[in-house]
Amino acid sequence: MARKSTEERRKEITEGLLEAMAEHGYAGASIKRIAARAGLTPGLIHYHFDTKQAILLALLKRLFVPQIQVLRSLADEANSAEQALESVLEALLSTGDSADPKAVAAWVTIGTEAIREPEINEAYSQALLEIEALFESIVERGVDSGEFDAGELSNRACAAALLAVVEGYFTVAATCREAIPQGTAAQAALRMAKGLLQR
């Protein structure tokens, strides 16, 4: 086995978990399977990660961090709150609707682990809260500019609703793709968002 740096190996291993998890779930993604997917020997996994959970946390980070950065850029570059909303939902849901199914399945699976593993919960909750905060900033911008009106709801409650829409499309896409008419997720979400925030 050619020697590589820990950073390279860690990337390969999280990728191995992604693939193993898509096929077998988290519990079924055994160290042996992760290793096989990554083309490594099982013993090496624990040289680079202390625990299996640590791999999951690394995968969560790898899925989330680039995504949230893209979303923030899109929001920043938009000329209006409405445009920001549109491009963020588009970015999230053309993924949720049609793009990398493995990543979506992994995201949903991580969410389920987060229900009862405190450390996973902390990281996953933080991710959800960052997405929510992004939505809230867009809502606030729209309210300030007069584009939006949250009615009786707080900006935060609106942001939570938008977060729920996105997470919900992920869940449905991962479990019952046929329930979502192809290509309608982003459009329907945007329509709901505008309805939620209309003057």
Partner DNA sequence: TATGAATGAGCGTTCATTCAT
Partner DNA sequence: AATGAATGAACGCTCATTCAT
**How far, in Å, CA of 167 to CA of 147, rounded?**
25
Does residue 23 interact with a copy of itself by CB under 8 A? yes
CB contact at 8 A, 195 and 183: no
Q: Tell me the closest approach of the beta carbon of residue 111 to DNA, in angstroms.
A: 19
Site string for DNA, 35-74 (x = CB under 7 A): -----xxxxxxxxx-xxxx---------------------
- Which one of a copy of itself, DNA, none interacts with residue 189, CB within 5 to 8 A by kind? a copy of itself
1 binds, among DNA, a copy of itself, none (CB under 5 to 8 A by kind): DNA
Question: Alpha carbon 154 to chain centroid distance?
Answer: 24
From residue 117 to residue 156, the character string flagging contacts with a copy of itself as x (rule: CB under 8 A) and all else as - is: ----x--xx--xx--x------------------xxxx-x
Residue ranges in contact with DNA by CB under 7 A: 1-6, 9, 27-33, 40-48, 50-53
